[in-house]
Chains A and B, each alone.
Chain A
Amino acid sequence: MTQVIVCCGAGGTGKTTTAAAIGVKLAIQGQRVAVLTIDPAKRLADALGLGSLDNDPKSVSLTELNARGTLHALMLDRKATFDAMVIAHSPNPDVAERLLANAYYQAVSTRLTGLHEYMATEKLQQLVESGLWDVVVLDTPPTQHAIDFFHAPERVGRLFEHGVLATLMTPARGLVGVATRRAVGLLERLAGESVLHDIAEFFRLISGLSEIIRSRNMQVHALLRSDRTRFYQVTAPALDACEEVEGFASLLREQGMRLEGLLVNRVTPVPQFTAPLVRERLPEAPLGVPDEEWDTMANALLALIPRAEARAQQHERAIVALKRSAHTEVWKLPELPAGVRTIDTLAGLGPHLPPLL
């Protein structure tokens, strides 16, 4: 059965990078892996040796790494995913066609906040159902707060599922309460009749899919809470991330989800010198560098040591506090000096990641 690993955390902490690094590590270990990334990270596509990523899995070449497994990467296209869902599950082609042409559908499929998150879970499910993968690694969208990732799909799912609005918008369905009638009247006044008409049509059509949507929502809800799914929270080594990390960890637990660990990313390692490094221990100027320039450079290099030490200590303190906040295992991922440029750099994070298997 396909396992799922979810990388979540606040914006810019390294979710996409760690998702990719986890994918590489698992592929090296012999797994058939799909990494579903959420943002159009051109650089990541480059690092993976792919020109671009799209809604279908593309194979990543791992020959240099002697990988025993395979790695595929794809990038969520929420409109394409929504379209595919509509086409696959509409009761007949006519319903699908009219839905895709509906003005409100178009607004929703390109613009509704939360739909991205919802479609990420839909795509996840499609990947899991395909049976092609041992592990699917899910990157999550940059949300203001990591918890939005879980609220958004459920909010949107509920919207489509029981279509409060479907009943609301369907005239003459009998038992429409006074309050509802008032609300409809007010909304008509606010948004105009034609919008209400488009919305009503949308919900009428999508109600033909509501059984399927409901059952898929239940499946993904269960999948994310089953022991097939592990969550890793990615964070920066910063004290002020504690509150967010703690809130998110307890939310996951409340939701019955399995938080496997905290990935503290971009940590400065503590400098390790066998003896104090003084100017005299540095060699002569390298070939091609004038003595004077080398002298300035050598002093500047030495001046970096206390700064690196201070930063490393600051990170250590933050990690202690973060560990306390998250009540879970902590993994330190070092700052990659050259950034994330190639698949080798991603593989280089492997030894710092949890064992995963």
Chain B
Amino acid sequence: MSGLLDRRFVVVTGKGGVGRSTAAVTLALAAGKAGKRTCVVELYGNRRIAQWFGLGDRSYKACSIAPNVDTMSLTAMDAMDDFGQRKLKLDALVRMVLNSRVTHAFVDAIPGLHDLVQLGKLENMLLEPLPGDAHYDLVIVDAPATGHGLTLLAAPQAMSELTKIGPFHELASIIARLLDDPKKSAVVLVTLPEELPVNEGIELALGLGDNQKLLHSVIMNQARPPSLPPVPAWDHIHALLSTAPDPDLRELLRVAEPFWRRQLSQEQALHRLKTLAELLNRQIPIAQLPKVEHGELSPDDLHILAEQLLPQVTT
């Protein structure tokens, strides 16, 4: 996964619940350890990462969570206000119009506009920091779950189709330019070591359209070390234990089976993920984030995960 940390803008994407927030913050902590000034950003006012670090409401401004690493929780309305101020040079009075109920109704009604203004804010942070703003080498965004509706990365395209002129159109072009450059931008796909999430992840990757070239690597989250030796004799063992007269042996089989299945499906998942490289005709490195077994993720766990990810993203 070499080169990932040399990008400026990394979008961490994946289906709901696979661990996008975990992967995004872990990647940010790894980047920080590698000396990159990094900001990991949650969109739409989400504050999962902020909560892990006990930041509460302060996270709407960038807050430090580790040396070199900040986090921030962005909202569409903040981004819109920022857009009015910076790009349109609107004074406070006109920005009030921008924040009016009527305007909100309009903004809600334009597909992708919420995504676009938030991306615009990130682009500003990276490429046009104002005097007094923090300078970042790397911005990592924890993208909203892809499922339905517009994906974050398709927002510029959607806006260009709808509007042909005007500041929204220009904003879309600026973002499109940032996303058009695989040296600056990258997409990291997060998935789980199970069949369905992997298939969905692959579908997602193939559905990236023009942005497919940005797909840099895959993070297989919640990977587990094998629990059982890789003997190809499970069927024999299954037959032996399932017909044993001792009920405890049958119970042993019941206890063991999920471990065995999980191990098998992780192997198969990894195998499936490797086909992505063939499908796209280039290398797609696969990093693994181990499952933290004791439940709750703490900042310490995240730092440990980051230590484990770091060698995988730098070599």
Q: Is B281 an interface residue (CB 8 A)?
A: no
Q: B166 near A43 (CB under 8 angstroms)?
A: no
The CA-CA distance from A142 to B166 in the complex, in Å, is 34
Q: B144 near A144 (CB under 8 angstroms)?
A: yes
Stretch at the interface among A8-16, A27-35, A123-131, A212-220: A8-16
The CA-CA distance from A194 to B165 in the complex, in Å, is 9
Q: Is A108 an interface residue (CB 8 A)?
A: yes
Minimum CB distance partner of A296 in chain B: B229
| Residue in A159, A239, A274, A337 whose beta carbon sits within 8 Å of that of B248 in the complex | A274
Distance from A346 Cβ to chain B, minimum over Cβ atoms (Å): 14
Q: A111 near B233 (CB under 8 angstroms)?
A: no
Task: Evaluate whether A289 and B195 lie within 8 angstroms (CB atoms) in the complex, with A107-B111, A240-B296 already known.
Answer: no
Enumerate chain B residues within 8 angstroms of A104, measured Cβ to Cβ: 162
Q: Is A164 an interface residue (CB 8 A)?
A: yes
Distance from A190 Cβ to chain B, minimum over Cβ atoms (Å): 5
Enumerate chain B residues within 8 angstroms of A42, measured Cβ to Cβ: 199
Distance from A197 Cβ to chain B, minimum over Cβ atoms (Å): 11
Minimum CB distance partner of B98 in chain A: A186
Minimum CB distance partner of A39 in chain B: B147
Q: A187 near B106 (CB under 8 angstroms)?
A: yes
Distance from A7 Cβ to chain B, minimum over Cβ atoms (Å): 14
By the criterion of a CB under 8 Å from any partner CB, how many residues of chain A are at the interface?
Answer: 81
Task: Evaluate whether A107 and B162 lie within 8 angstroms (CB atoms) in the complex, with A112-B109, A113-B111, A164-B102 already known.
Answer: yes
The CA-CA distance from A183 to B84 in the complex, in Å, is 13
Which residues of chain B from 142 to 166 have any CB-CB distance to chain A below 8 Å in the complex? 144-145, 147-150, 154, 158, 161-166
Q: B150 near A304 (CB under 8 angstroms)?
A: no
The CA-CA distance from A318 to B295 in the complex, in Å, is 9
Q: A11 near B296 (CB under 8 angstroms)?
A: no
Q: B252 near A165 (CB under 8 angstroms)?
A: no
Q: A304 near B97 (CB under 8 angstroms)?
A: no
Q: Is A67 an interface residue (CB 8 A)?
A: no
Q: Is B100 an interface residue (CB 8 A)?
A: yes
Q: Is A51 an interface residue (CB 8 A)?
A: no
Q: A308 near B255 (CB under 8 angstroms)?
A: yes
| Residue in B147, B257, B297 whose beta carbon sits within 8 Å of that of A141 in the complex | B147
Q: A190 near B166 (CB under 8 angstroms)?
A: yes
Q: Is B209 an interface residue (CB 8 A)?
A: no
Enumerate chain A residues within 8 angstroms of B92, measured Cβ to Cβ: none
Q: Is A81 an interface residue (CB 8 A)?
A: no
Enumerate chain B residues within 8 angstroms of A195, measured Cβ to Cβ: 162-164, 166
Q: Is B34 an interface residue (CB 8 A)?
A: no
Pick the 9 closest A-B CB pairs, nearest first.
A11-B16, A12-B17, A142-B16, A111-B111, A11-B17, A286-B240, A192-B166, A337-B257, A286-B236
A-B contact pairs, 19 of them (CB 8 A): A10-B16, A11-B15, A12-B16, A42-B199, A43-B199, A113-B114, A116-B147, A142-B17, A143-B16, A144-B44, A168-B102, A187-B103, A191-B166, A238-B295, A273-B251, A286-B237, A293-B229, A314-B294, A337-B260
List residues of chain A with CB under 8 Å of any chain B CB: 10-13, 38-39, 41-43, 78, 103-104, 107-108, 110-116, 141-144, 155, 159, 164-165, 168, 179-180, 182-184, 186-187, 189-192, 194-195, 198-199, 238-240, 268-269, 271-275, 277, 281-283, 286-289, 293-294, 296-297, 300-305, 307-308, 314, 318, 335, 337-339
